[in-house]
């Protein structure tokens, strides 16, 4: 009944006898509670969030549905272990392209221990978090039936520089061979997946408007998660582009202050994506202009 999810791109994985999340056939995702306060904190967040009437419906849809907790046989064979029961975000999706982006230039929170803060500061500085206000935690991009997914391993992802991040956000929406580091990603799905009224950028802007106002929670070390289905785009259907928020083990109370750390990082990511769309627009326009100039010269002769 339970199996290891195919579509996990970051976090602990239930492989090789390790503790990790499981899924079932009914569209549920079982996440083992981390044994320290992170586990209980994530349960506390989902419980508080689920029943908080201040969260508008158009924001609630960015969060996985929460079905409670349940003791389950752990994937590491250690016996019963409490699990969060959540919506499986990628159930019913065919070969989804996915990216997990941890938001915030700071992943620690003021109340944490000195050791924890030190560890986070190091990770934030070595990754792109401090520089960009976010870092990529993992991804998979569907290429084709033949070549399957491009899924760089953890060590590769960890080393992403600011330029790598810019490139990966383009590769994420490209149809040409993205493993080949020489070829320029063609961004052929950018306008469908990132752009448009139902695209990822529009969804991020909706989230941004909420973060400018909400002072209920501070989402430390939380990720935005993008999904879409390439085959659906190629068939001319909806891309199924969706943004979700995940990983709430370090959420703390907002105490009447907005989450300026999350908001700043989110705005930086929004700028990366909107700039890409503008650049593509301009290069299309330029190509058209060049084209019409050439035609003009031709008709002159």
Kindly state the smallest distance separating residue 231's Cβ from a copy of itself, in Å: 33
The binding site for a copy of itself (CB under 8 A) comprises: 105-106, 110, 121, 125, 130-133, 162, 212-213, 215, 255, 257-258, 260-261, 263-265, 267-268, 270-271
Exposed/middle/buried for residue 245 (C-beta within 10 Å: 0-12, 13-18, 19+): middle
Kindly state the smallest distance separating residue 252's Cβ from a copy of itself, in Å: 11
Q: If you ran DSSP here, which 8-state letter would residue 240 be given?
A: -
Q: Which is nearer to a copy of itself, 9 or 165 (CB)?
A: 165
Q: Which is nearer to a copy of itself, 62 or 134 (CB)?
A: 134
Evaluated on CA atoms 10, 16, 18, 20, the torsion sign reads positive
Q: Which is nearer to a copy of itself, 31 or 106 (CB)?
A: 106
Distance CA(109)–CA(113), nearest Å, equals: 9
Kindly state the smallest distance separating residue 84's Cβ from a copy of itself, in Å: 29
* Cα–Cα distances in angstroms (integers) from residue 195 to residues 127, 189, 233, 238, 278, in the given order: 27, 9, 13, 12, 10
Exposed/middle/buried for residue 67 (C-beta within 10 Å: 0-12, 13-18, 19+): middle
Kindly state the smallest distance separating residue 44's Cβ from a copy of itself, in Å: 21
Q: Which is nearer to a copy of itself, 202 or 270 (CB)?
A: 270
Q: Which is nearer to a copy of itself, 69 or 128 (CB)?
A: 128
Kindly state the smallest distance separating residue 22's Cβ from a copy of itself, in Å: 36
Q: In the chain, at which residue ranges do the beta strands (DSSP E only) sit?
A: 22-23, 28-32, 66-73, 80-87, 96-103, 134-144, 148-150, 217-219, 223-229, 242-246, 251-253
């Amino acid at each position: 009944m339970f199996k290891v999810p195919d579509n996990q791109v970051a976090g602990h994985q239930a492989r090789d006898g390790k503790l990790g999340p499981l899924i079932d056939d009914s569209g549920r995702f079982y996440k083992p509670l981390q044994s320290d306060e992170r586990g209980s904190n994530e349960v506390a967040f989902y419980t508080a969030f689920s029943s908080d009437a201040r969260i508008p419906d158009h924001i609630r849809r960015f969060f996985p549905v929460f079905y409670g907790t349940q003791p389950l046989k752990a994937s590491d064979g250690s016996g019963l272990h409490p699990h969060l029961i959540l919506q499986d975000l990628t159930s019913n999706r065919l070969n989804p392209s996915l990216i997990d982006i941890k938001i915030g230039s700071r992943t620690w929170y003021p109340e944490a221990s000195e050791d924890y803060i030190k560890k986070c500061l190091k990770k934030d500085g070595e990754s792109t978090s401090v520089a960009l206000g976010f870092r990529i935690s993992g991804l998979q991009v569907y290429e084709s039936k033949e070549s399957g997914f491009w899924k760089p391993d953890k060590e590769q992802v960890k080393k992403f520089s600011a330029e790598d991040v810019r490139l990966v956000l383009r590769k994420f929406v490209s149809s040409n061979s993205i493993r080949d580091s020489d070829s320029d990603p063609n961004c052929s799905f950018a306008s469908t997946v990132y752009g448009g009224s139902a695209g990822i950028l529009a969804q991020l802007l909706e989230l941004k408007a909420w973060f400018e106002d909400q002072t209920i929670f501070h989402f430390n070390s939380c990720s935005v998660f993008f999904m879409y289905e390439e085959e659906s785009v190629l068939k001319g259907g909806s891309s199924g582009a969706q943004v979700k928020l995940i990983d709430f083990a370090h959420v703390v109370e907002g105490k009447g202050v907005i989450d300026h750390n999350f908001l700043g990082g989110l705005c930086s990511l929004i700028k990366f994506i909107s700039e890409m769309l503008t650049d593509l627009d301009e290069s299309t326009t330029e190509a058209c202009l060049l084209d019409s100039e050439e035609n003009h010269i031709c008709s002159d002769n």
